[in-house]
Structure formats: C-alpha cells, structure tokens
Amino acid sequence: MTNPLDIGSYAAIRTCLRLYNHRHGESQFEEVEFPFSELRSDGTAPVLATPFQEATRHGLRIVPPGWKRDWAPAARRMIAVYLSGKSDIEASDGGVRRLSPGIVLLAEDITGRGHRVTHVGMIR
C-alpha cells in the first residue's frame, strides 16, 4: 500500500509554473517545486503543507473564450490558480505554455516586455 502522503503521488500539484525576468530582461518559464513538509497536529492525521507567505490582495477573474492580453509585464508579483478553461501564455523569450485547470502560475515578470495571453476556450 502506498503512503497517502507520498508527495510523488501528487505530481500535478507539487510544482508551479514560474514566469520571471532573466538577467537580460526577457521573461521566461521554469518549473518550481513547492517546499512541502509533513504537518502533524495532536489527534489528527498528518497533512502535507508549505510554509505560509504574506498575501495582501486576492481576486477572481472570469474571461471569455477568445480574450487576449497583449504584451505587458505582470502588474505585481502574483499567483494565478487555473480552475477552468485553457489559455496560452507566451513569455518574451518565445516560450509558450498551455494553462489549464490545476496549473499554478507564479507571475514575477514585473518589468520589461512581459508576456501575452490568449484564452483559447473552455475544456469540454
């Protein structure tokens, strides 16, 4: 029987897609692994958790199929969690990724040309 807390069984959620500016100012992608550790409380089963980080604002967006945002940097450092639909995001270095439900995007490309996004539709 596998250990229910084996982080390897949670491949889809153990990493996030980071979008950041490299030293030449272009935005680019990298996969970043979340620092999960086992958290135990008296009398309860252990859970996997990451350290808490400060958050000062939050919001939700619903965008229609075909919506596009042209080249621009992220307005601020932010985390986007995709709940439905799918979008293509292009970094200024030419890298393109498909964002779909379950993807966590850490957008840190707050200077330079930034990135562009095309919402390609709902997942059927």
Is residue 2 a part of any domain in this protein? no
Please provide the average confidence, as pLDDT, over all residues in the chain. 87
- Distance, CA of 100 to CA of 95 (rounded, Å): 16
Burial category of 77 from C-beta neighbours within 10 Å (exposed 0-12, middle 13-18, buried 19 and up):
exposed
Model pLDDT, residue 1: 41
pLDDT score of 58 more than 80: yes
Number of domains in the chain: 1
Model pLDDT, residue 124: 56
- Distance, CA of 92 to CA of 110 (rounded, Å): 12
pTM of the predicted protein model: 0.79
Mean pLDDT of 91-114: 94
Q: What share of the chain in percent tops pLDDT 90?
A: 47
Give the domain extent around 94.
7-121
Is residue 90 a part of any domain in this protein? yes
Mean pLDDT of 93-111: 94
Cα R_g (the chain), whole angstroms? 17
Is residue 96 a part of any domain in this protein? yes
Is residue 15 a part of any domain in this protein? yes
Distances (CA, A) of 25 to 53, 73, 84: 26, 11, 31
Is residue 1 a part of any domain in this protein? no
Is residue 38 a part of any domain in this protein? yes
Q: What share of the chain in percent tops pLDDT 70?
A: 88
